[in-house]
Amino acid sequence: MNHLIGLSRRSVLLTNRLPIQTSIRTALNNRDWRPNEDAPVSPEDRAATARKYNILEEDYKPLPPERNAGDMPDVAPAGKYFDRNPWEDYDYAADRQNWNEPRHPEDHIKYDKTRLGHGPEKQPIILKELLKLLVLPVTFILAAYGLRSLELMTPTFRSPKVEPGVVHYSFEKNDDSGHGVRY
Amino acid sequence: MGLNFSGTIDRARNPERYPDKSKGPTFDSMYGFPDGRKPKIAPYTEEEMQTLNIPLDKRDYCAHYFRAMMLCTQQYWPSQYAYCEPERHAWDQCEIKNKIDDAKEYERELRLRRRRLRKEEVAAKLNSTEKEISKNEE
């Protein structure tokens, strides 16, 4: 059973194996989920099933009955996704599969746990990522500062500084009002 | 944003139609004001500003409001509650008034420039028509 899950007997990766064990047993032994076809015995039947599965007649070998496979052939695994030749011209390149090729139950894994990269060379450096986030705002700020001389959005003069000899005027009438009130 | 870009381009192509921010107002300050204009009163002289330790950026026509806020802040620091909010509000309102006056000065300068250009155009047209008439007369 553990070879179907992909674990050794003493693996601690999956401590509660009972649910998956019972579901595997159910899928394999439930009478409602048995295959329609039985394993062929006569040579004509064997030839017909070999033609159905697109295998040569001498290569066709059904699985033993306790595997509950029907007439499915005992095919050697072609290899998982990463074990297959990447430079071959597949019909389905994203899956590295060809049309109507025999597939083995062990080859359904495309992303294997042992092949995922969790090493230090693949972990993101947080400070570097944060600095990347600062690139766009900093360029915008520097551009706004550098283009100040173009005076894009400022229809005003700069405030006049208080100089001893110079008089600046407001827009109110000079009618001697507001004495004692500094503007 | 589109107005900003088109305005920038027009300003680059016709600089005489727009005021020069580095120079400030060039026309006579009293031109067009029959009742005159009230002069702005500086709250402190240069020596007083230095004595009162007002920051250099704030030595303008609102320095007295800033000094009131400064004293209040010194009294209540390091508390960050809005004890000095009335003083700060008064200073901010004074600054806003001055900024509005700056905008009005800019607008006045702009309109006087356009008016001058229009007058020059009209004079040029009249001169050209007079020249044509004189030519025909001859």
Tens of pLDDT, residue by residue over A120-140, are 888 999 999 999 999 999 999
Amino acid of residue A147: L
Judged by CB atoms closer than 8 Å, whether chains meet at A171 and B104 is answered as yes
* ipTM of predicted assembly, 2 dp: 0.84
Judged by CB atoms closer than 8 Å, whether chains meet at B37 and A174 is answered as yes
Amino acid of residue B73: T
Q: Is A88 or A150 the better-scoring residue by pLDDT?
A: A88
Q: Given this model, what pLDDT does residue B98 score?
A: 95
Q: Given this model, what pLDDT does residue A18 score?
A: 86
Tens of pLDDT, residue by residue over A155-181, are 889 999 999 999 999 999 998 887 777
A40 class by beta-carbon count within 10 Å (0-12 exposed, 13-18 middle, 19+ buried): middle
Flag whether the pTM goes above 0.80: no
Find the domain containing B26 and state its range: 5-137
Q: Given this model, what pLDDT does residue B138 score?
A: 67
Please report, for chain A, the start and end positions of each structural domain, with discontinuous segments joined by +. Answer: 32-74, 75-142
User: Is residue B40 within 8 Å of A169, Cβ to Cβ?
Assistant: yes
Within an 8 Å CB–CB cutoff, is residue A181 touching chain B?
no
Nearest Cβ partner of B102 from A159, A172, A175?
A: A159
SS (H, E, C) B60-73: CCCHHHHHHHHHHH
Residues of chain B contacting A164 with CB distance shorter than 8 Å: 45-46
**Mean pLDDT, contiguous 10-residue spans, chain B (138 residues):** 79 92 93 94 94 96 97 96 97 95 95 97 91 77
Tens of pLDDT, residue by residue over A88-118, are 999 999 999 999 887 787 787 777 777 777 7
Backbone dihedral angles phi then psi of residue A92, each to the nearest 5 degrees? -115, 95
Q: Given this model, what pLDDT does residue B50 score?
A: 96
Within an 8 Å CB–CB cutoff, is residue A66 touching chain B?
no
CB pairs under 8 A between A and B: 87
Q: Given this model, what pLDDT does residue B70 score?
A: 98
User: Is residue A60 within 8 Å of A49, Cβ to Cβ?
Assistant: yes
Q: Which 3 state secondary structure label does DSSP give A140? A: helix
* Closest chain A residue to the Cα of B18, Cα to Cα: A155
The residue among B40, B52, B66, B99 with the most chain A CBs within 10 A of its CB, best to mutate, is B40
Q: Given this model, what pLDDT does residue A16 score?
A: 81
* Number of domains forming the structure of chain B: 1
Length of chain B: 138
Q: Which 3 state secondary structure label does DSSP give A164? A: coil
